[in-house]
Amino acid sequence: MRLLKSFGINRYSTFIHHILLVLLLYNIYLSLTLLKASSLSKTDCGHKKSNTSYFHLKLSNGRWDSRRMVKTFDNVIIAEQEPSGMVCLATQCSVDRLHSIVELAKNWNGSISTAIYVAGEELYYLQDYVRFLRRCYRSVRQTVTFHLAVPANQFPQSTQSGFTTDQLPCHQDPIIVLSNLMKQLPETLKRWRIRMPYPQNHLRNLARLNCQTHYALVTDIDIIPSIDSAILLNTFLSERPKCLKCVYVLPTYEVHKSADPPKNVTELIKLKSTGLARYFHMEVFKLNQMPTNFLMFEKSSKKLSGLHISHKVPKYQLYYEPFYVSLNNVPIYDERFIGYGYTRNSQVYEMFAAKYQFEVLANIFTFQHSFASQKRKSNYREIQYAENLALFTKFKKEIAARYLLSHYL
């Protein structure tokens, strides 16, 4: 009996030891789990502060162009406001020009699709700057969707930047904020980006094809539309029968940097009369805009109020490069043209060959905050112009064959 009692106590003691051991192991497991959760929580918190994850972007994804020179990424940041209306503004730039998006978004007052060319560690400085823009400018946050293009030989090596804009007050000048960020770029990248062959047509296609509206206005980032252009164009386009091959030109001016931005055509014409505004590229390349016929545009804008067609562009002239609104059925920009020279006018050349009709609008315009001047091109730009001129000569022959033209200019 005593033996049985002793045996029972031993069994009970062993059982208690097992229970205590299980509880100890479970306690260790819980402690490790909590430590891991705490670590993840800290990482997540840091991740939110880190602008490396601000874009919806994986560099291992994306889409290569046909020659694997440029990799593009759609919708890395999406506007808070759903696209609405008839027309979207499609624009493009390199990182150092992005400050113009503030004025552009304010004036346009509608959906914007923006393609940005970014090289190496610029990506992280760009993310930091976009955070600043979206935090401080409601129009940018609500209306601008961003896309990226990265050169094949310039993917970022590091994984972070200085995160310098999170604490900046919103009254900071966006030009100065961006300039300070650009100064932090590695010297090797600064030297390279001066000479990089800028793929303008890749970016134009990226921006335009990501517009979610029927119509698009394709511009460069520093081409600013007149106030409420999207609203005016939405009304104009919704009231007209759809014309598959009608293209609507917005006349473009240069406004001196000392002048206040013109709010309407009346103010624009007044600036022009005092020498503070002039036709776009008037000094550097007249053929670029001459067929628009600015005098007819100004006369028609004075005569009748409201957005309307001033006149038609009667005949194509070589090297014409208007900024225009069109359906997205127009030819894409030929991506063989890399760098400077013959990028936009190659597309306009094809449009005339395909019998698109260019019509100039009255009481709406675009402008640039500078007077362009003739200056000696750097050696690398001279090379790019020469290469694109040779390509443009070949391109015209291709277009003539494609559209069965009897001759080409």
Which residues, other chains included, contact 121 with Cβ-Cβ below 8 Å and sequence gap of 6+? 156, 157, 158, 161, 185, 186, 189
Mean pLDDT of 292-299: 97
**What's the token pair of residue 353?**
């060959």
**What's the token pair of residue 268?**
């624009």
Residue 93 has pLDDT above 90, yes or no: yes
Angle at 352 between CA 208 and CA 212, to 5 degrees: 20
Residue 279 has pLDDT above 90, yes or no: yes
Residues in a beta bridge with 309: 361
Ranges of H-type helices in 74-161? 101-108, 122-136, 138-143
Beta-carbon count within 10 A of 316 CB: 15
Least confident of 208-212, 281-285, 326-330, 331-335: 281-285
* Cα-based distances in Å from 55 to 63, 76, 140: 16, 5, 15
- Residue 33 has a pLDDT of 45
Encode pLDDT of 75-90 as tens digits.
Answer: 999 999 998 899 999 9
- In 3D, which of 174, 203, 197 has the Cα closest to residue 90? 203
Parallel, antiparallel, or unpaired for β 308-312 and 224-225? unpaired
306: left (phi over 0), alpha (psi -120 to 50) or beta: left
Encode pLDDT of 334-366 as tens digits.
Answer: 999 999 889 999 999 999 999 999 999 999 999
Q: What is the C-alpha separation between 366 and 25, in angstroms, rounded?
A: 72
- Residue 25 has a pLDDT of 60
pLDDT confidence tier of residue 247, bands split at 50, 70 and 90 = very high
- In 3D, which of 300, 330, 327, 329 has the Cα closest to residue 312? 300
- Residue 42 has a pLDDT of 35
pLDDT confidence tier of residue 282, bands split at 50, 70 and 90 = confident
Q: What is the C-alpha separation between 251 and 60, in angstroms, rounded?
A: 41
* Cα-based distances in Å from 137 to 4, 208, 298: 84, 23, 33
Encode pLDDT of 183-228 as tens digits.
Answer: 888 787 777 666 778 999 999 999 999 999 999 999 999 999 999 9
pLDDT confidence tier of residue 155, bands split at 50, 70 and 90 = confident
Q: Please, are residues 77 and 56 in contact by the beta-carbon 8 Å criterion?
A: yes
Q: Please, are residues 326 and 215 in contact by the beta-carbon 8 Å criterion?
A: yes
Encode pLDDT of 167-176 as tens digits.
Answer: 889 999 999 9
More confidently predicted of 158 and 74:
74
More confidently predicted of 21 and 244:
244
- Residue 12 has a pLDDT of 53
Q: Which class for 44: exposed (0-12), middle (13-18), buried (19 or more C-beta within 10 A)?
A: exposed
Encode pLDDT of 373-408 as tens digits.
Answer: 877 667 788 889 999 999 999 999 999 999 999 888
Ranges of H-type helices in 337-378? 344-353
Residue 309 has pLDDT above 80, yes or no: yes
Residue 250 has pLDDT above 50, yes or no: yes
Residue 22 has pLDDT above 90, yes or no: no
